[in-house]
Amino acid sequence: MLELATVSLLNGIVYGLLLFMLTSGLTLIFSMMGVLNFAHASVFMVGAYLSYQFARWVGFWPALVIAPLACGLIGAAIERYGLRHVHKSGHVAEILFTFGLAYLIEELVTMIWGRNAVANSVPAVIDFPLFSLFGSSFPAYKGLMMAISIAMFVFLYVALKRTRIGLVIQAALTHPQMVGALGHDVPGIFVLVFAVGSALAGLAGVIGGFMLLTQPTLANAIGPIVFVVVVIGGLGSLGGALIASMLIGILQTFAVAIDYSLLDALRAAGIAVTRASPLYDFYSIKVATAAPIVPYVLLVLMLIVRPRGLMGKRDV
Amino acid sequence: MLEVDDLHAYYGKSHILQGVSFTVGDGEIVSLLGRNGAGRSTTVKTIMGTVPPVGSIRFNGDRIDGLRPHEIARKGLGYVPEDRAIFPTLTVRENLLLGVKSTTRKGRWSMDDMFALFPLLRERADAPGGVLSGGEQQMLTICRSLMGDPALLMVDEPTEGLAPKMVALVRELLEKIAARGIAILIIEQKLTIALAICHRLYVMGHGRIVFEGNALELRADDSIRREWLEV
Ligand SMILES: Nc1ncnc2c1ncn2[C@@H]1O[C@H](COP(=O)(O)OP(=O)(O)O)[C@@H](O)[C@H]1O
Ligand SMILES: [Mg+2]
């Protein structure tokens, strides 16, 4: 039991950190520009594919750098040549634009790499047991994922809190017009934030590609979870996104590992339930089977109890 | 210094500024007066480029209409909005630092000058801007714009809602700024300090300039005051 808990916790933290890498960019972009970028998860997917491709051409370590940089450039181009022009037509147009982009990216990826999953397996250099715990080993690539995520957040935090450009970004979160009137190039800052946010999504794609299947539906698989995290954390709040990412990462990982159902719990409590009881099928669903809906249950509860999310400043 | 000629502005379909023309000379204090909704705030927003201008705006001889707000600010225009727009989560010091436009070119004003102008800012330097009182925020927002070394400072309703003591401080601050040769365009409705400190003034109504003169001439003109200012 303790073994299961520790292993699940470690896996949950890895998954949570991955989610945060994805949501931090999205939430920064949202609070500055008021636009929820539905193509964000697609950039994540592109990161996974690019890392697969570059790893085959030039090896894993260069790919780990090239794929996020390429995603950053893609993000900058999306803002500079797409969203900036659509912005004049209002929020609905912006959202439709990012939706369209998500479909476009999915089709492009299918054209290039095919409809089936590519063999994006963990490279040999990082595929060895790092340490063992209660007899089960913790693989090195998960250690690397954690190290990269944590290093990324330290870098982001310092950049945001300790540099002049970080100060400009923080101010633009609440008063973009005033920041412009003080002589700072706000459109330029938008491109930068979009680029960094997309590069982070790309980096998450590189390391997430090992955990999830690298196939054209990857964006659709992760996208909804990302939005759930952003809403639960509070739109536009980095701290909230961190807490919500870890919460969902850990909860979902634990749920997957629990091989019991409500039925077992009822029986353990001495309540007799038979096939004839009403809702028997419902009781007998194993928690692990229901794990994928955990985030959405949280989302619905959060929207009812506290629509602004854990740390958000405005309602959804 | 600032020449606005036949300026129009629109919010969607509504035609707000309907041909506004006025000037501000070097080192001059000019007031833009009028009732709520006359279009004074829209005028300065249009000059700053946050509302798209139609017409001609010149600053030191260069056309600035059509430039983006940060480019306009870098030409030497300072803007203090009526909502003050303090960055609430950032400290007072960080608010002031954000007023600096370029780290390479040194301006006339330093952080210490600001602390000397309004010592409370030194005491509250590490407090978040959001916790200051309305009057303190007004002083902070003016000082923040000064850090950008403007040649012309446009201040929208700086005394609105302030206690008489703070009003006196704001007036003193604006006079000190003007004494350093900086031109000021001050917007007011209630004529709390504008008449006392301005060299010239304009009265706006329904998106047009309806009177141009100085404080003496306005005092002498009952009909203008009754029609365009008194509530
Ligand atoms: N963001 C806006 N959208 C639509 N109409 C606006 C907006 N801001 C101001 N207005 C309208 O423009 C007119 C002028 O407003 P404003 O320039 O704020 O006047 P003043 O500053 O002189 O009180 C008013 O009728 C006001 O209702
Ligand atoms: Mg106004």
Condensed to tens digits (0 to 9), the pLDDT of residues A135-169 reads 778 888 888 888 988 888 888 888 888 889 989 98
Question: How confident is the model at residue A314, as a pLDDT?
Answer: 55
What's the CATH code of the domain at B62?
A: 3.40.50.300
Angle at A177 between CA B74 and CA A36, to 5 degrees: 130
Average pLDDT estimate for A90-97? 88
Cβ proximity of A184 and A23 under 8 Å: no
Task: Confirm whether B111 is domain-assigned.
Answer: no
Looking from the CA of residue B42, the nearest atom of ligand 1 is 17
Strand partners, B4: B22, B57
Q: What residue owns the CA closest to ligand 1's atom 13?
A: B37
Average pLDDT, chain A: 86
Task: Confirm whether B173 is domain-assigned.
Answer: yes
Task: Confirm whether B156 is domain-assigned.
Answer: yes
Give the structural domain span for B33: 2-85+151-228
B218 or A273: whose pLDDT is higher? B218
- Closest CA relative to residue B17, chosen from B64, B52, B68: B52
Task: Confirm whether B193 is domain-assigned.
Answer: yes
Which one of B10, B44, B67, B70 makes the best mutation probe of the A interface by having the most chain A beta carbons within 10 Å?
B70
Looking from the CA of residue B204, the nearest atom of ligand 1 is 22
DSSP B109-161: --HHHHHHH-THHHHTTTSBGGGS-HHHHHHHHHHHHHTT--SEEEEESTTTT
Q: What residue owns the CA closest to ligand 1's atom 25?
A: B37
pLDDT band at A209 (very low <50, low <70, confident <90, very high): confident
Task: Confirm whether B47 is domain-assigned.
Answer: yes
| Residues of chain A found within 8 Å of residue B97, distances taken between Cβ atoms | 164, 167
* Ligand 1 neighbourhood includes B39 CB (under 6 angstroms): yes
* Ligand 1 neighbourhood includes B137 CB (under 6 angstroms): no
Residue type, A7: V
Question: How confident is the model at residue A262, as a pLDDT?
Answer: 75
Condensed to tens digits (0 to 9), the pLDDT of residues B156-178 reads 999 998 999 999 999 999 999 99
Least distant ligand from the CA of B32: 1
- What is this model's ipTM? 0.92
Question: How confident is the model at residue A313, as a pLDDT?
Answer: 63
The count of structural domains within chain B is 1
Q: Is B190 left (phi over 0), alpha (psi -120 to 50) or beta?
A: alpha
Task: Confirm whether B51 is domain-assigned.
Answer: yes
DSSP chain A: -HHHHHHHHHHHHHHHHHHHHHHHHHHHHHHHH----TTHHHHHHHHHHHHHHHHHHH-HHHHHHHHHHHHHHHHHHIIIIIIHHHGGG-HHHHHHHHHHHHHHHHHHHHHHH-SSPP--PPPGGG-SEEEEETTEEEEHHHHHHHHHHHHHHHHHHHHHHHSHHHHHHHHHHH-HHHHHHTT--HHHHHHHHHHHHHHHHHHHHHHHHHHS--STTHHHHHHHHHHHHHHHH-TT-HHHHHHHHHHHHHHHHHHHH---BHHHHHHHTT----TTSTTHHHHTSBHHHHGGGHHHHHHHHHHHH-TTTTT-SS--
Cβ proximity of A54 and A65 under 8 Å: no
Q: How far is B145 from chain A (nearest CA, A)?
A: 7
Distance CA B129, CA B10 (A): 33
Average pLDDT estimate for A280-290? 76
Average pLDDT estimate for A12-38? 85
> To test ligand 1's pocket by mutation, which of B7, B8, B10, B11 has the most ligand atoms within 8 angstroms of CB?
B11
Is pLDDT above 90 for B53? Answer: yes
Question: How confident is the model at residue A126, as a pLDDT?
Answer: 81
Q: Is A215 left (phi over 0), alpha (psi -120 to 50) or beta?
A: beta
Question: How confident is the model at residue A105, as a pLDDT?
Answer: 95
Of A164, A170, A177, nearest to B90 by CB-CB distance is A170
Of B48, B69, B90, nearest to A167 by CB-CB distance is B90
In this structure, what DSSP letter does residue B100 have?
Answer: -
